[in-house]
């Protein structure tokens, strides 16, 4: 069954379902009237005497060139083919489908001037599993994501490449196999399809969705680590966090209190523990990850707005009002991507310090060196910790802002750009890195809790521990740990670890 997309009001939850499940999608039928009302206005402008950018003129620096009405179809086709300049690995298919869905939402607002048959073809491609091959590099995030969206649109013309089922085929063949016919573009339709921020926004949304799973899992891994090193829960007291007032911090502390409530390990050292304060990586998790939560929720608000936005140019504002603007500039997406990157980097940074703490017998409160029962003969989690340090450092580098960069393009016509596309694209690698850091933290914490037997942790954390042990057994003698680390990362990124601990209502 197709998801129904309502232009202007589609929530992130619907877009996440579409992305994760590769679900087909259609516009709400109520959008059709607005789309069909705008298309004739573009047709009139195409035949008129007044110059209208991209309708009867060239593009970019060539906007002073007038185009004859009989050359309209050629103009739009040439636009698409000339802009197919993307390079690099192809976008994963689920994210490519999200790009298409976001383009539906933009066109569905009725300000782009395309005919309904253009919308219908995208809907049918989603329904019949025709997914354009979209190279991941080539957009600077202004004047729209021109190159990647051109590759998407080329398939609609019977050009380019597309996946149909499991096969990668020429675009025309993929359409034919699906029983679809290429479209001949009318006035402005090519421009409407490639002007826009849908490529950057789709990548940023994918980064947000996986990032939230990582941040959710970080609450569980931090709680496990707190018990593993017999840390104090006093820093989680509600009064501390309400005195500061940050919503994310308050919520993270509350979630961690609930996760640790009833732990025998914690109860065992409430008295007689000579330690006064734990290191910051234990004590300040609510302050750090709570701040990350707030940043990600801010970015989510921006991206939900952008997902529902009209971002091509010019826009049809009414009869006789086809106006050039700049909604294609992806600065909001670039800022959102930078914000998410900061949240991911810091979540991994503090988690990695907990891994380092657990393998260090000076800091781990009597856990064996590197969490192995026979240190010396065995190295335990020694090099797993080194790997987390490498990934943490890589994420710090990747978190440097992209939105502060700009370079003039298109003969200085497009003289300030957002760099949103690669700002968003890096989030995929950052999330994969972070899932390994958190997965490794989960393994170390589970190993530490094993060493605290016969004392047991809380009920929610026992469930999380059981989920870990269902995938990865306790480490006895040394073995290759890469498979263990990747299975644990899978628990994090799938959402299974947070779900096992009962964090089902922790939402964006």
Alpha carbon distance 379, 365 (integer Å): 19
How big is the CA angle at 355 (ends 353 and 357), to the nearest 5 degrees? 70
Rg (CA), the chain: 26
- Tell me how many degrees the CA angle 193-182-23 measures, rounded to the nearest 5: 65
Any catalytic annotation for residue 53?
yes
The whole-angstrom separation of Cα 379 and Cα 411 is: 59
Give the Cα separation of 413 and 403 in Å (integer): 19
Give 160's contacts (C-beta < 8 A, 6+ positions apart).
84, 132, 133, 151, 154, 170, 171
The torsion of the CA quartet 190, 191, 194, 197, rounded to 10 degrees, works out to -150
Strands 25-27 and 3-5: parallel
Give the other-Cβ count within 10 Å of 85's Cβ: 15
Q: Which of 53, 163, 280, 381 is catalytic?
A: 53
Q: Which helix (H) or strand (E) holds 161?
A: strand 161-164
Q: What is the dihedral angle through the alpha carbons of 170, 172, 175, 177, rounded to the nearest 10 degrees?
A: -70
In terms of Cβ atoms closer than 10 Å to its own Cβ (0-12, 13-18, 19+), residue 199 is buried
Query: Side by side, which strands form the sheet with 161-164?
Result: 130-132, 161-164, 167-170
Residues noted as catalytic: 53
């Amino acid at each position: 069954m197709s998801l129904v997309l309502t232009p202007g009001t589609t929530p992130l939850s619907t877009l996440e379902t579409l992305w994760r499940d590769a679900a087909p999608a259609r516009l709400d039928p109520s959008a059709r009237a607005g789309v069909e009302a705008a298309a004739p206005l573009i047709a009139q402008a195409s035949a008129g005497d007044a110059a209208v950018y991209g309708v009867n003129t060239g593009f970019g620096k060539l906007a002073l060139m007038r185009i004859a009405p009989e050359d309209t179809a050629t103009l739009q086709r040439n636009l698409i083919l000339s802009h197919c300049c993307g390079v690099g690995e192809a976008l994963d298919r689920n994210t490519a489908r999200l790009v298409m869905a976001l383009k539906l939402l933009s066109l569905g607002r009725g300000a782009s001037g395309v005919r309904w048959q253009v919308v219908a073809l995208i809907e049918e491609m989603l329904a019949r599993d025709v997914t354009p091959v979209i190279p991941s590099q080539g957009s600077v995030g202004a004047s729209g994501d021109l190159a990647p969206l051109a590759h998407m649109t080329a398939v609609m013309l019977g050009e380019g490449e597309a996946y149909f089922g499991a096969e990668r085929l020429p675009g025309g063949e993929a359409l034919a196999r699906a029983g679809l016919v290429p479209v001949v573009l009318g006035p402005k339709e090519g421009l409407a399809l490639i002007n826009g921020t849908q490529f950057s926004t789709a990548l940023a949304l994918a980064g947000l969705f996986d990032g939230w799973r990582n941040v959710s899992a970080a609450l569980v891994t931090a709680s496990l680590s707190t018990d593993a090193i017999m840390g104090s829960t006093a820093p989680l007291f509600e009064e501390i966090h309400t005195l500061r007032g940050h919503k994310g911090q308050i919520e993270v502390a509350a979630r961690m209190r609930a996760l640790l409530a009833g732990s025998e390990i914690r109860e065992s050292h409430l008295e007689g523990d000579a330690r006064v304060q734990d290191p910051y990586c234990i004590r300040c998790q609510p302050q750090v990850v709570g701040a990350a939560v707030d940043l990600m929720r801010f970015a989510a608000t921006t991206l939900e707005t952008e997902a529902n936005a009209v971002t091509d140019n010019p826009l049809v504002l009414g009869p006789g009002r086809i106006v050039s603007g700049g909604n294609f500039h992806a600065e909001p997406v670039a800022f959102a991507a930078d914000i998410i990157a900061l949240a991911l980097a810091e979540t991994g940074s503090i988690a990695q310090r907990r891994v380092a703490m657990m393998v260090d017998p000076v800091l781990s409160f009597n856990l064996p060196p590197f969490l192995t029962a026979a240190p010396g003969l065995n190295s335990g989690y020694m090099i797993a910790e080194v790997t987390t340090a490498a990934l943490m450092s890589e994420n710090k580098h990747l978190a440097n802002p992209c939105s502060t960069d700009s370079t003039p393009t298109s003969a200085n016509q497009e003289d300030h750009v957002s760099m949103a596309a690669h700002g968003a694209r890096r989030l995929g690698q950052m999330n994969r890195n972070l899932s390994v850091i958190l997965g490794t933290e989960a393994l170390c914490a589970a190993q530490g809790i094993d060493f605290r037997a016969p004392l047991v942790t809380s009920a929610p954390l026992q469930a999380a521990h059981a989920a870990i042990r269902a995938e990865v057994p306790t480490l006895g003698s040394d073995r290759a740990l890469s498979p263990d680390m990747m299975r644990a990362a899978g628990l994090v990124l799938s959402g299974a670890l947070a779900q096992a601990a009962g964090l089902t209502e922790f939402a964006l």
